[in-house]
Chain A
């Protein structure tokens, strides 16, 4: 039942350093605010461009108003069922965006900083995970209780997964990988709580997670190979590949972000559409499917993070790098 090579002190160490990473994630998570601002201003800028590009829109104002009335009716119908998503009408740069999956809802403001729904959900999840970790490690015994056995099983499974994917000693990487996995899993499954929308269904949260992975790649790469050694990995097969490798570092992070966002958001969106069309019990099979998708996406995100970090740490050790051994 319990993982053999895992003592209580290691468990405490994992959870402590996991919470350190989580705190780092919280710091990066404050990028939510900035990105929200950026998002809004980007939409405003785009709408301004669109406005100047289409001076003929005055001719079509009547038809558009008719169109907006139609969308409002549809949205009102949806909101009757889905009160958790109510009040999604918002005016950004004068554009009425109804039921847009890209908009976030501001709950309250702390000074000049607007606190949005996904931020509150994120911090609630972080508090819940930290509380669970604290409760789990408060009374560790050699003969584990049921709760401790479950926790040890989870930590041991993550450790095995890191070991088998990255092929390095997992001790350093388990905290961040495990924290990422548990956070994304609970975030994806938080839609089970009525009225809570998964924070990963908004691109700001996923962008924060992707940035954490990007920083972790650079951090572990430099830690394992030194600064110059890490920079050298960009010119790995030949010097010609440098721009490609640099671009790849960012595009793979971007695809990581969009993958998680698209999958979770499409689930929420499709359930919303089904709810607006059909009654109360119809979307339940789709919600079950969403649970599966959420688990798989959490797994994929962490596996890809492991692969990226592992390639930064041990790149070239397999076939091409016989001339130099990192660390």
Chain B
């Protein structure tokens, strides 16, 4: 197998795996904070959970960026062929 392909596959795997760590930790913190807030103020649960969903999607976008990079490396790699 070509070196470029091997490196590309490893790069894609590393982009997704390491790129998932940060957003995972961030989402955990966000959900924990939201749970705390809802427990303190149950009447604000609607606003909090709506903001939480938007925030989670924004955090998740960081992981999605890594996925896009991985797919670029796998499927639109400029150095293969």
Hey, which bits of chain A sit against chain B, CB under 8 A? 43, 46-47, 49-51, 53-54, 57, 60, 63-64, 67, 94-97, 99-102, 255, 258-259, 261-263, 265-266, 269, 293, 296-297, 299-300, 303
**Contact status B53-A296, CB under 8 Å:** yes
User: Number of contact residues on B: which range applies?
Assistant: 20 to 34
Closest to B60 in A: A263
Closest to A99 in B: B75
Contacts of B72 in A (CB 8 A): 102
**Contact status A266-B64, CB under 8 Å:** yes
Contacts of B25 in A (CB 8 A): none
**Residues of chain B from 23 to 81 with CB closer than 8 A to chain A in the complex:** 53-54, 57-58, 60-61, 64-65, 67-68, 71-72, 75-81
Contacts of B71 in A (CB 8 A): 100-102, 265, 269
Contacts of A54 in B (CB 8 A): 4, 79
**What would be 5 A-B contacts, judged by CB atoms less than 8 Å apart?**
A47-B81, A50-B77, A50-B78, A101-B75, A262-B64
Closest to B4 in A: A54
**Contact status B76-A303, CB under 8 Å:** no
Closest to A92 in B: B76
Q: A266-B64, A300-B57 are in contact. Are A60 and B78 (CB under 8 A)?
A: no
B23, chain A: closest CB distance, angstroms: 12
Most buried by A among B5, B60, B67, B81: B81
**Contact status B79-A53, CB under 8 Å:** yes
Closest to A53 in B: B79
6 tightest Cβ-Cβ pairs between the two chains A and B: A46-B78, A262-B64, A100-B75, A50-B79, A60-B2, A262-B68
**Contact status A50-B80, CB under 8 Å:** yes
Main secondary structure of the interface of A (DSSP, over half): helix
A50 to B1, CA, bound (A): 17
**Contact status A259-B64, CB under 8 Å:** yes
Contacts of A296 in B (CB 8 A): 53-54, 57
A95 to B5, CA, bound (A): 14
Contacts of B58 in A (CB 8 A): 300
Contacts of A95 in B (CB 8 A): 80-81
A271, chain B: closest CB distance, angstroms: 14
**Contact status B54-A97, CB under 8 Å:** no
**Contact status A258-B81, CB under 8 Å:** no
Contact of A299 among B54, B75, B76 (CB under 8 A): B54
A154, chain B: closest CB distance, angstroms: 17
A262 to B57, CA, bound (A): 12
A5 to B25, CA, bound (A): 44
Contact of B54 among A43, A263, A300 (CB under 8 A): A300
Contacts of A303 in B (CB 8 A): 54
Contacts of B61 in A (CB 8 A): 255, 259, 262-263
A295, chain B: closest CB distance, angstroms: 10
